[in-house]
Structure 1
Amino acid sequence: MLVEIYCDKFKTGGKDGKIRPAIKFHKGLNAVMGDSNRSNSIGKSTLLMIIDFVFGGEDYIQKCKAVHDKIGEHNICFTLEFEGKEYSFLRNTKNYKELVICDRQYKKIEGKKPISIDEYNKFLAKNYGLSNEELTWRGAMSKYIRVYGRDTMDSSRPLQASKDGKQSDEIKNYLKQFGVYNTVKEQIDIAKEADDKKSSFKKTSDYKYLIMAKNKTEYKNNEKKISELEIKKKELAEKNNDGLLDLNEMQAEQISDLRMHLNKYKRQKARLQAQLNTMRQEKIDGKKSFKKSYEDLEKFFPGEKFEEIEKIENFHKSLSKVLDAEFKENEKNLVATCKLLDNEIGKIQDEIAEIKIIPNVSQAVLKEYTNLSLELQNLYTANNNFTIFENLKENAKKCEDARDKVISNKLTDIQNKINNAMMTITNRIVKGKHLIPPHLLLETINKYTFETKGDGGSGTAYRGLITFDLANMSLLHIPFLVHDADLMDPIEKNTLTELVKEYDSVKNDEKQVFVSFRSYEFYAKEIKPLLESCLVIHLEANGKELFGWAWNKEENKKID
Structure 2
Amino acid sequence: MLVEIRCQLFKNELITFHEGLNVILGDEKATNSIGKTTFLMIIDFVFGGESFLKKNGGAIKHLGHHIVYFTFKFSHVYYYFSRESDKHNIVKIYDKNKNLIEEISIQNFREFLKEKYELEHLIYLSFREVIGPYSRIWGKKYDLNKPINIDKEPDKKAITRLLKLFNMYDNINSHDKKIDYLTKKKQTFKDATKYDIIPDGITKKIYEDAIKRNEKIETEILDITNNLEKNRTNLDVLLSDELLSLKNKISQLHIKRNILKSELNSIVINLTTQDKKIRGKLSNLAEFFPDINLDKLKLIDTFHNNISNILKDQLKEREKILNERIKNLDNEILQQNAEFDNLITYNENNVSRLAIEKLIDLSQQKIKNFEIINIYIDKNSIQDDLSQNIILLSDIKLKIQSDIMLQLNTKMGNINNQIYDNHQFPPSLDLKDNKYSFNNESDTGTGKAYTGIIILDLAIFSLTPLSIIIHDSMLFKNIQTSSFEKIIELYYNQTKQIFISTDSINNYNEKTQKILNIKKVLQLSYENTLYPLKWNEEKK
On whether the aligned pair clears a TM of 0.5, the verdict is: yes
Stretch of structure 1 that moved more, 483-492 or 514-523: 514-523
Equivalent residue, structure 2, for 1:327? none
Closer, same or farther: CA 206–481 of 1 in aligned 2, 3 Å: same
Equivalent residue, structure 2, for 1:29? 21
Q: Which amino acid in 1 is paired with 2:388?
A: K
Work out whether 1:54 is the aligned partner of 2:46. yes
Q: Which amino acid in 1 is paired with 2:138?
A: Y
Work out whether 1:157 is the aligned partner of 2:146. yes
Alpha-carbon distance in 1 for matches of 2:74, 2:397: 36
Q: Which amino acid in 1 is paired with 2:536?
A: N
Alpha-carbon distance in 2 for matches of 1:156, 1:176: 21
Cα RMSD (Å): 4.3
For residues 48-447 of structure 1, the aligned pairs below 5 Å read 48-102=40-94, 108-109=98-99, 112-132=101-121, 133-151=123-141, 153-161=142-150, 163=151, 165-211=153-199, 214-220=202-208, 378-379=368-369, 381-441=371-431, 443-444=432-433, 446-447=434-435
Work out whether 1:475 is the aligned partner of 2:463. yes
Alpha-carbon distance in 2 for matches of 1:197, 1:142: 36
Alpha-carbon distance in 1 for matches of 2:343, 2:116: 85
Q: Give the SS at the match of 1:184.
A: helix
Structure 1 contact 5–78 (Cα < 8 Å) conserved: yes
Structure 1 contact 213–385 (Cα < 8 Å) conserved: no
Cα deviation, 1:336-389, whole Å, max 9, x if unaligned, reads: xxxxx9xx99x9799688897889x9x9x9999999987776555423431333
Match of 1:546 among 523, 530, 535: 530
Closer, same or farther: CA 440–54 of 1 in aligned 2, 3 Å: farther
Name structure 2 gaps, 5 residues minimum: 248-333
Closer, same or farther: CA 251–89 of 1 in aligned 2, 3 Å: closer
Closer, same or farther: CA 212–532 of 1 in aligned 2, 3 Å: same
Structure 2 contact 70–82 (Cα < 8 Å) conserved: yes
Alpha-carbon distance in 2 for matches of 1:128, 1:350: 74
Alpha-carbon distance in 2 for matches of 1:536, 1:350: 94
Work out whether 1:485 is the aligned partner of 2:489. no
Cα deviation, 1:303-355, whole Å, max 9, x if unaligned, reads: xxxxxxxxxxxxxxxxxxxxxxxxxxxxxxxxxxxxxx9xx99x979968889
Closer, same or farther: CA 230–5 of 1 in aligned 2, 3 Å: closer
Work out whether 1:466 is the aligned partner of 2:458. no
Work out whether 1:537 is the aligned partner of 2:525. no
Alpha-carbon distance in 1 for matches of 2:468, 2:30: 26
Structure 1 contact 212–385 (Cα < 8 Å) conserved: no
Equivalent residue, structure 2, for 1:502? 490
Percentage of matched positions with identical amino acids:
28
Closer, same or farther: CA 10–213 of 1 in aligned 2, 3 Å: closer
Q: Which amino acid in 1 is paired with 2:428?
A: P
Name structure 1 gaps, 5 residues minimum: 12-19, 259-340, 554-560
Structure 1 contact 483–514 (Cα < 8 Å) conserved: yes
TM-score normalized by the length of structure 1: 0.67
Equivalent residue, structure 1, for 2:4? 4
Closer, same or farther: CA 191–526 of 1 in aligned 2, 3 Å: same
Alpha-carbon distance in 1 for matches of 2:87, 2:199: 62
Q: Give the SS at the match of 1:27.
A: coil
Q: Which amino acid in 2 is paired with 1:501?
A: E
What is the CA distance between 1:24 and its match in structure 2? 2.5
Q: Which amino acid in 1 is paired with 2:425?
A: L
Alpha-carbon distance in 2 for matches of 1:39, 1:186: 52
Alpha-carbon distance in 1 for matches of 2:218, 2:92: 84
Q: Give the SS at the match of 1:112.
A: strand
Cα deviation, 1:418-455, whole Å, max 9, x if unaligned, reads: 222112111211222131423241x22x4433332798
Cα deviation, 1:443-502, whole Å, max 9, x if unaligned, reads: 22x443333279894322221211111011111122321001111112222211111111
Alpha-carbon distance in 1 for matches of 2:388, 2:343: 58
Stretch of structure 1 that moved more, 529-538 or 368-377: 368-377
Structure 1 contact 31–536 (Cα < 8 Å) conserved: yes
Alpha-carbon distance in 1 for matches of 2:430, 2:40: 27
Q: Which amino acid in 2 is paired with 1:157?
A: K
Structure 1 contact 437–464 (Cα < 8 Å) conserved: yes
Alpha-carbon distance in 1 for matches of 2:175, 2:95: 49
Structure 1 contact 7–77 (Cα < 8 Å) conserved: yes
Q: Give the SS at the match of 1:183.
A: helix
Closer, same or farther: CA 403–356 of 1 in aligned 2, 3 Å: farther
Q: Which amino acid in 1 is paired with 2:104?
A: I
What is the CA distance between 1:97 and its match in structure 2? 2.5
